[in-house]
Amino acid sequence: MKVLYNIGILIFSALAYLISPFNFKASLWVKGRKKWAERIKDTIKPEDRTVWIHCASLGEFEQGRPVIEAIKKEMPDLKIVLTFFSPSGYEIRKNYPNADCISYLPADTPENVAKFISLVNPQFVIFVKYEFWNNYISLLYKSNIPLYLISAIFRPEQHFFKWYGSFFRGMLKKFERIFVQDQRSFDLLSEIGMENISLAGDTRFDRVIQIAGTAKDIPQLEQFRGDEKMFLAGSSWKQDEEIIAQYINKFPGRMKWVFAPHEIDKPNIERLVKLLKVSVVRFSEFNEDSADARVLIIDNIGMLSSAYKYAYIAAIGGGFGKGIHNILEPACWGIPVLFGPRHEKFREAVDLINENGAMTFDSFGNFSNILDKWLEDEPFYLKSAKAAVVYINKNTGATGKIMQEVSQKDMNKLHS
């Protein structure tokens, strides 16, 4: 199996090179890995004490971020090496100030791994959520460098739990500690004989609390909202928008309406505007004279997390495609949340529905029924709003649990 794994890595890398002239993401993946060793040498010296933290992409970075910042706060002299597998993580966070060295992860070949570990020489390593690279894991284990997996989540259909999964289970056994998000993951690992596991929760809850605590005021949204209730469609996609627009066109006066589309390029914004039969203003063009518009479209990146605090109800996009975007950000403000039908793989979505802090829709009919219920039945709305924020608060604290265990075993070494 190890031979097949290494062949698979070589084939994957070769394919990335072959398609890179024709595929933008593949091009970034290939170009980003050129001269990776030189970039590490420029920032990490042999005498430095380091910790290496690896994230697959942007979502995993946001999960790892509270732990990165906790480490940086406790030991500001410790150098942090942050790696990404995907361009969507690296390209957005390549200037993240709390990491001393940010790099693409070199392909998991024995040669790359030996060179990378030699250059970084980490005191300990943290992988976020679900990265399993056999050569990295094996060399760290052989080198007695503790490796932690945080915010991990497991499902029965994964290789680890199949009859042929001994190779993959072997990787899990080489982690110093696996911090899982939920009881189901803990039970799945226990059933295959894993003992190096802790039920810590999901660090994303800590992250959204941090975000809410530093939310910026947006006077334009406050002016646009006025004394009305405000609906915010965050990270919306075409299918979400078509249903929401149908409701707005039928009942424009029930609330003020804000869209923050996932894609903010000009053609997509123009497509959204054409769906709406009411007055629309783009945030970039908003002024006092346009405050009476019924719909505002946020045509920038970076504002959404702060915008939720002005909302009465939020709908999160993606649920008609591959999966929903971040529903925790609005929930932490005590806002009932709506999203599309493809949410089953998202534990927080299932939990929030069960807690009555969220509801799902797949058509105009049930979207309309849900909105009408929240708008017309205030006790029902308040119950949903409270359930959302209670769910967030009772699930915070994963970062502290992780840091407590890591510090006991490894931070003391760094101080010595």
Cβ atoms < 10 Å from Cβ of 377: 12
Burial of 34 (0-12, 13-18, 19+ CB in 10 A): exposed
Q: At what angle do helices 134-142 and 2-19 cross, to 10 degrees?
A: 130
Task: Output the pLDDT for position 292.
Answer: 94
Task: Output the pLDDT for position 409.
Answer: 65
Assign domain 217-394 to a CATH class: alpha beta
Does the fold of domain 217-394 match that of domain 47-201+397-415? yes
Long-range contact set of residues 290-295: C-beta below 8 Å, sequence gap at least 24: 291/223, 291/224, 291/226, 293/224, 294/248, 294/252, 294/253, 294/256, 294/257, 295/248, 295/256, 295/257, 295/258, 295/259
Task: Output the pLDDT for position 222.
Answer: 96
Strand partners, 41: none
CA distance 196 to 166: 17
Give the confidence band of 322 by pLDDT, cuts at 50, 70, 90: confident
Over the stretch 11-20, which tens digit does the pLDDT of each residue have? 998 998 899 8
Domain ranges in the chain are 47-201+397-415, 217-394
Q: Pick 47-201+397-415's CATH classification: 3.10.20.90, 3.40.309.10, 3.40.50.11720, 3.90.180.10.
A: 3.40.50.11720
Q: Is the pLDDT of residue 414 over 80?
A: no
Over the stretch 385-408, which tens digit does the pLDDT of each residue have? 999 999 999 999 999 999 988 877
Q: Is the pLDDT of residue 371 over 60?
A: yes
Structure tokens at 270: 């123009």
Task: Output the pLDDT for position 345.
Answer: 84
Over the stretch 18-73, which tens digit does the pLDDT of each residue have? 998 888 888 988 888 998 999 999 999 999 999 999 999 988 999 999 999 999 99
Task: Output the pLDDT for position 412.
Answer: 55
Close Cβ partners of 203 (under 8 Å, ≥ 6 residues apart):
63, 64, 65, 66, 67, 150, 151, 398, 399, 402
Task: Output the pLDDT for position 405.
Answer: 84
Q: Which of 32-46, 84-98, 358-372 has the highest mean pLDDT?
A: 358-372
